[in-house]
Structure 1
Amino acid sequence: MGMFALLLAGCQSPPAGRLNETQIALLKARGFTQVEEGWSLGLSDRVLFANESRTLNPDSRAVVQKIAHSLLSVGIDWARLDGHTDSNGDESYNQQLSRQRAQSVADSLIDAGMPVANLEVRGLGERYPVASNKTREGRSQNRRVAIVITD
C-alpha cells in the first residue's frame, strides 16, 4: 500500500498556479521580470500606443501574438493585462483608456489561442508611470500594457 501511495503522489500535478522550471526559463528568456505577483513583461519598449489610442498597430499585434505563442508552447495559458496611460486627460478618461488598451492586448492573446476565461484585464490609468510625464518620450513610455503571469 505504501508503494502505491508513493507512486500516486509522484503522478499528481503540481498545485494550480505553480510555474515549473521550463516555464520560468521561458519567461526569463522573453524578458519577463519577477515581481510580487509573479512575472511581468512591460511592453512599453515593444508595444507603444499613440496619444489617446487604444488600438494595436499590425506590428504590435504581431509582437503580442508571438509572446502568446511562446507562453502557450510551455503551457502558460493565463495572464493579467495591466493597461496604463500618460497623465494627459482627466483621471476618469485615463482609467477607461488604460482598460481599453489592456483589452486590445487581451484580444491579440485570444486570437493567438489564449482562453478568454483565463485573462484578467485591468485599467490602472496614470497611477504607475515608468517615466516622467513632463517629456514626450516619457509620456510615450507610460502609454503601455504589462503582461503579468501570476504564480
Structure 2
Amino acid sequence: MLSSDKDIFKKAKLTADAGFHTKKNMEMVFSQGIDAYIADRHFRKRDPRFRDRNRFKQIARKERKSRWFTSRDFIFDMEQQICICPAWKHLYVKNKNFVTRNGYKAIAFMGKKTECRVCKLRERCLRYPDRTEIRQVHFFMARRIVQAAPS
C-alpha cells in the first residue's frame, strides 16, 4: 500500500467504464478504501435511461441490409465451388479450406481488381469503396471443427 502522503486516491475519485469491472479490481478498490465509480457490465440493462437501447440497433441493422450487399446477394454453388456477384461477375477462390478464429470451416472468394474497380455496383458492394479495392465473400462450410484432445 502507498504511504498516506503519496496516496493519490486520498482526495481524488476514480471513475472507470465497465471494462475495468472485474472481481480482482473490485476487491482491490474495496480493500484500499478508494472512492471509485466503476460501471458494471449489466448497468445499461438495469438503468431506465437505456430502456430504448435496442430500438436503435434494429434501425441500424435494417439500414445496413438495405444499403450494402451481403453474402446472401451472391450466388454460391458449393458443389462446383463457384461464386457470382450481384453484377454477374465470377469471383475466384482465395482460400478453399480455411478455419476462422472461432473454429468454423469456410471458403473465401475474391473479386478481380479489373472488374471491381469499374463496377457500377461498387458503392453497394463495398462499405468503404474509396479505400477498398475488391470484394471478398466468405461462405461457411461446417459449423465448428472439434479438435481431439492431445493424449
Q: After TM superposition, is the score higher than 0.5?
A: no
Please, what TM-score do these two structures have when normalized by structure 2? Answer: 0.21
Larger helix percent: 1
Please, what TM-score do these two structures have when normalized by structure 1? Answer: 0.21
Higher relative contact order (CA 8 A, sep 6+): 1
Larger strand percent: 2
